[in-house]
Amino acid sequence: MFRPTRILLASLLVALCSSFQPADPPPDLPSRFPEPGRIVAIGDLHGDLDATRRALKLAGAIDDNDRWIGGDLVLVQTGDQLDRGNGERAILDLFVRLAEEARAAGGAVHALNGDHELMNASLDFRYVTPGGFADFEEFAPDKDLEPSSRGPDDAQLGRKAAFRPGGAYARVLAERNTIVIIGRNVFVHGGVRPEHVDYGIERINDEVRTWLRGERPCPGFVDSRRGPTWTRLYSSNPDTAACDTLAVVLERLSAERMIVGHTIQEGGIKAFCDGKLWGIDVGMSAFSGGKPQALEIVGDSVRVLRGE
């Protein structure tokens, strides 16, 4: 049975993420990139800075000082850096810096938005830890008020200001895609369904981006359980029907495979649909107790990198 507060929260999210279809401005960040020499993808991080560092080292992306050493490596992180751990802000800031360092070295870092990034922009903080609130206190308005004049929800004020559309860290998330196609590889947190292709990959990316900037209402697909950050069609024991749907999507996108996170794969990264689909969420955060793994793609060769 749902609690009344959850019903109210669901109603609020529906109101916030209403359908809205203005004229579409051209996207200012590409959704498709050429095939690089080497791609490494890592899954959900959920606020665990130590696991993040170990995954990045496993990929050959950073040294012991968290500096980029990947050269022309293209690194993809498929979303859900937020929630369930206390290292979220450090992870967000690390990926911003690594993207700049990688670009200067001829490589690239593509951190995608997952459902937990978009939940925070919708002010859904049910999975935030006390440390996750404390890290963003500086963004709270009227932060110099005496403690006696503060209310019981004031611990959330800084995070609300940082992540609400137009806020400082919402704008960090606005610099990310939700779906990216690199060469013949589609990367997305939940999955791309045929209706997403119909709607337009570029349009999805652009509408999320402009919403996060505070320039438009929340798109309806953000909170949809069939949306690209929420669907589990491909990540939860995909059956023949899911593989058939995947084949249609890949053909329409001129792609060879899809890589998703979102659902923990017990035992590590798994291939489905004759290698056309890879689930890379291995629950590597302390919350889930897994070990870092990464997926390396070099042309037609795909292999799992396993950490300690």
Contact criterion met (CB below 8 Å) for 270 and 197: no
Residue 8 backbone zone (phi > 0: left; psi -120 to 50: alpha; other: beta): alpha
Q: State whether the Cα torsion 287-291-296-300 is positive or negative.
A: negative
Closest Cα partner for 77 from 235, 275, 295?
A: 295
Q: How far is CA 119 from CA 168, 218, 263, in A?
A: 16, 11, 16
d(CA 11, CA 176) in angstroms, rounded, equals 27
114: which 2 tokens? 């997952």
Q: Which of 110, 116, 189, 262 is catalytic?
A: 116
Within 13 Å of residue 85, how many CA atoms lie on the same side as its CB? 26
Q: Is 83 left (phi over 0), alpha (psi -120 to 50) or beta?
A: left
Q: Is 46 a catalytic residue?
A: no
Give the separation between CA 299 and CA 55, rounded to whole angstroms.
21
Catalytic residues: 116
